């Protein structure tokens, strides 16, 4: 996996260097393989158990779930949420090089500033659909062991993201973002274009 040079400021940032930046410990402007692997380790086990649960109900329904995941993480989520992220604005690559959606294509233009209500609804409903689809089929097939494991792994995944990712995430537009106001202001000082977009 290749990531952006962590010493080079993002294109939205007005600084000449990331050395001594007062916000770099609090916000992830750059990403690395360690973060991407931890993210995958938190998500993949829950998805694999979900996949097994769907398979036990009906192998054919796996195709529908995989298609929904592909469309959502590959295109829809990128449009409604990631296209607001400063990382998305990088012109060096045509695909995302971040911890969570590595490799997804950047087909839409960068749109700094907050997400609209419609975008938030699509983002949340899409995520819920992906999590609830296997859950319903596991319940219908009465595989209670799979159900318990799926719920635990989904909970661990959610906890990991909320605790280690959402509070350091550079995309303030995301409804799940947990970066506090003080840290946001610090980032805005380095990125006046983004600040302007938020104040429009």
| Residues in touch with ligand SF4 (CB under 6 A) | 9-10, 13, 15, 18, 21, 23-24, 29, 81-82, 85, 87-88, 96, 98, 100-101, 169, 171, 174, 187, 190
In the complex, the smallest distance separating the C-beta of residue 148 from ligand SF4, rounded to whole angstroms, is: 29
**Measured distance CA(47)–CA(45) in Å, rounded:** 5
**Measured distance CA(131)–CA(145) in Å, rounded:** 17
In the complex, the smallest distance separating the C-beta of residue 170 from ligand SF4, rounded to whole angstroms, is: 6
**Measured distance CA(86)–CA(8) in Å, rounded:** 14
Phi/psi for 142 (5° steps) reads: 55, 35
In the complex, the smallest distance separating the C-beta of residue 143 from ligand SF4, rounded to whole angstroms, is: 31
Q: Which is nearer to ligand SF4, 87 or 184 (CB)?
A: 87
Sign of CA dihedral 65, 163, 167, 125: positive
**Measured distance CA(178)–CA(12) in Å, rounded:** 21
Residue 105's DSSP bridge partners are: 95
In the complex, the smallest distance separating the C-beta of residue 46 from ligand SF4, rounded to whole angstroms, is: 17
Q: Which is nearer to ligand SF4, 44 or 140 (CB)?
A: 44
Q: Which is nearer to ligand SF4, 55 or 160 (CB)?
A: 160
In the complex, the smallest distance separating the C-beta of residue 154 from ligand SF4, rounded to whole angstroms, is: 19
Q: Which is nearer to ligand SF4, 70 or 144 (CB)?
A: 70
**Measured distance CA(150)–CA(158) in Å, rounded:** 12
Q: Which is nearer to ligand SF4, 59 or 181 (CB)?
A: 181
Instruction: Specify the residue for token string 């694999």.
Output: 48
């Amino acid at each position: 996996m290749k990531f952006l040079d962590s010493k080079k400021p993002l294109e939205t940032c007005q600084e000449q260097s990331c050395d001594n930046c007062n916000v770099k410990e609090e916000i992830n402007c750059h990403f690395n393989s360690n973060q991407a692997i931890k993210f995958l380790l938190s998500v993949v086990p829950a998805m694999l158990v979900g996949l097994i649960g769907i398979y036990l109900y009906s192998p054919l329904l796996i195709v529908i779930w995989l298609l929904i995941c592909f469309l959502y993480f590959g295109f829809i989520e990128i449009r409604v949420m990631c296209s607001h992220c400063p990382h998305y604005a990088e012109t060096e690559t045509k695909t995302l090089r971040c911890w969570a959606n590595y490799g997804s294509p950047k087909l839409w233009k960068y749109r700094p500033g907050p997400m609209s209500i419609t975008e938030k609804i699509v983002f949340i409903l899409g995520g819920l659909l992906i999590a609830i689809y296997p859950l319903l089929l596991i319940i219908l097939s009465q595989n209670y062991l799979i159900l318990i494991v799926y719920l635990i792994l989904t909970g661990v995944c959610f906890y990991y993201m909320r605790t280690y990712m959402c509070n350091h995430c550079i995309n303030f537009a995301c409804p799940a973002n947990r970066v506090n106001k003080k840290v946001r202001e610090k980032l805005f000082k380095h990125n006046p274009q983004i600040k302007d977009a938020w104040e429009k």
